[in-house]
Amino acid sequence: MYAIVDIAGQQFKVEKNQELYVHRLEGKEGGKVEFDRVLLIDQEGKVTVGAPNIDGAKVNARILTHLKGDKVLVFKKKRRKGYQKLNGHRQCLTKIQIENISAK
């Protein structure tokens, strides 16, 4: 059984006991979160598609930890002008574990 769920503006294919990294979520480590924007559920070959969401479907997850992603370097240059700019960015992430997928 798997589901396609919208988490913080991104769509993820999730299964039970799966761990994944999403954009930073509100809540403390060890806390529970619930996602109700479920777009699709597959139960042993029986597919249910929402329009746009499935009413009554929920995905429950547990927050494992808050962390920062790897550094991404952004380098800008204009040739023959002497212009160079180097910026770095580290995205704030949350690691969650899917505990339950329930359909109505």
User: Tens of pLDDT along 21-64?
Assistant: 999 999 999 999 999 999 999 998 999 999 999 999 999 999 99
Q: How confident is the model at residue 104 (pLDDT cuts 50, 70, 90)?
A: confident
53-87 as b/e: b if 16+ CB within 10 A: ebeebbbebbbeeeeeeeeeeeeeeeeeeeeeeee
pTM listed for this prediction: 0.85
Q: How many domains does the chain have?
A: 1
d(CA 95, CA 27): 12
* Cα–Cα nearest to 86, from 102, 68, 103, 72: 72
Range of the structural domain that residue 64 is part of: 2-102
At 64 the pLDDT is: 98
